[in-house]
């Protein structure tokens, strides 16, 4: 119970990787704030902020479901205020919310461009900004963002320029905050999976069942996240972590348990060679 009585705010935590992280940190004793948009069941997407909160509370900790669209600062500020009112502070922020559209420039509509940059870059920036005054008061404060290592190879830009810009924008926020917040002892790190992860995005947008069978379960990212945010915030900051490498540092050598189908070859994720 390394996070006993800590408060963790997770954006986009109603399903997929975000919910897996929420459940994993709850098992460490943390109270969880689920800040996401989904309040009503979606025909093609499993889970709402309320179903996620129920799963978390079944583990014996407290959960606070909040409907939040992180593109809007007023909604961020209300969510932060409600979190502090409920739990007294914030110890860890996980920037998980993200939008994806793997389109070339000619097929990228302005509304899709704005959605990705509004959620991925703007949302990460202003959610982090709003949490800093409260993280300053925490004993081991962390900001962890689900974004890739900064790799300027042209191939990552040529295939889906707008999406790459938005994900690298999230990583740049972590790079800058790590340096800016060092005097305050607040860690800022990025985490990215080595392989594709079996989520609704993979199923519905990227590769269907074929890619799902070649993916790992969200729990590998969740386990890596737990390892990162329990490290010293003064010593562990400014890193672009890969999930498998984090767990290897924790002594994990057998990763077959995370595979959807251990018999299938794994598909490397975007931005990972």
Query: How far are the Cα atoms of 82, 90, 124, 171, 238 from residue 182, in angstroms, in the given order?
Result: 27, 18, 18, 17, 9
Q: Is 82 a member of any domain?
A: yes
For the record, the structure tokens of 192 come out as 């990215």
- Token pair, residue 135, equals 């993280």
> What is the CATH number for 131?
3.40.50.720
Question: Is 179 among the domain residues?
Answer: yes
In a domain, 65, yes or no: yes
User: Is residue 141 helix, strand or coil?
Assistant: coil
| Total domain count, the chain | 1
In tens digits, what is the pLDDT along the chain, a chain of 273 residues?
899 999 999 999 888 999 999 999 999 999 999 999 888 877 667 789 999 999 999 999 999 999 999 999 999 999 999 999 999 999 999 999 999 999 999 999 999 999 999 999 999 999 999 999 999 999 999 999 999 999 999 999 999 999 999 999 999 999 999 999 999 999 999 999 999 999 877 777 676 888 999 999 999 999 999 999 999 999 999 999 999 999 999 999 999 999 999 999 999 999 998
For residue 73, count other CB atoms closer than 10 A to its CB: 14
Give yes or no: 163 in active site.
Answer: yes
For residue 195, what are the domain limits? 7-258
Rounded distance between C-alpha atoms, residue 151 and residue 239, angstroms: 13
Let me know if residue 267 belongs to a domain: no
Query: Is residue 272 in some structural domain?
Result: no
Question: Is residue 16 helix, strand or coil?
Answer: helix
User: For helices 16-27 and 219-229, what crossing angle results, to 10°?
Assistant: 50
Q: Is residue 1 part of a domain?
A: no
- Examine residue 2 and state whether it is found in any structural domain, yes or no: no
The H-or-E segment that residue 93 falls in is strand 92-95
Whether 211 is in a domain gets the answer: yes
Residue with tokens 């990460």: 124
The one catalytic residue in 163, 168, 210, 258 is 163
């Amino acid at each position: 119970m390394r996070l006993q009585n800590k408060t963790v705010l997770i954006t986009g935590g109603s399903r997929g990787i975000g919910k897996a992280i929420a459940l994993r940190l709850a098992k460490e004793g943390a109270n969880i704030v689920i800040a996401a948009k989904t309040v009503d069941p979606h025909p093609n997407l499993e889970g709402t902020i309320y179903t996620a909160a129920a799963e978390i509370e079944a583990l014996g900790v407290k959960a606070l479901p909040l409907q939040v669209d992180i593109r809007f600062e007023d909604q961020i500020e209300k969510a932060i205020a409600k979190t502090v009112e409920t739990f007294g502070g914030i110890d860890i922020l996980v920037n998980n919310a993200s939008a994806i559209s793997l389109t070339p420039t000619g097929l990228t509509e302005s509304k899709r461009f704005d959605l990705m940059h509004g959620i991925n870059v703007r949302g990460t920036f202003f959610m982090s900004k709003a949490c800093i005054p409260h993280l300053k008061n925490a004993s081991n404060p962390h900001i962890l963002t689900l974004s890739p290592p900064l790799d300027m190879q042209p191939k990552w830009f040529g295939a889906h320029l707008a999406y790459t810009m938005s994900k690298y924008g999230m990583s740049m926020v972590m790079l800058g905050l790590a340096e800016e917040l060092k005097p305050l002892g607040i860690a800022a790190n990025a985490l990215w999976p080595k392989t594709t992860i079996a989520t609704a995005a993979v199923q519905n947008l990227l590769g269907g069942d074929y890619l799902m069978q070649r993916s790992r379960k969200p729990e590998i990212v969740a386990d890596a996240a737990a390892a990162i945010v329990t490290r010293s915030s003064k010593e562990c900051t400014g890193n672009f972590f890969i999930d498998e490498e984090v767990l290897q540092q924790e002594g994990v050598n057998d990763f077959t348990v995370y595979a959807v189908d251990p018999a299938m070859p794994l598909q490397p994720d975007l931005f990972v060679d």
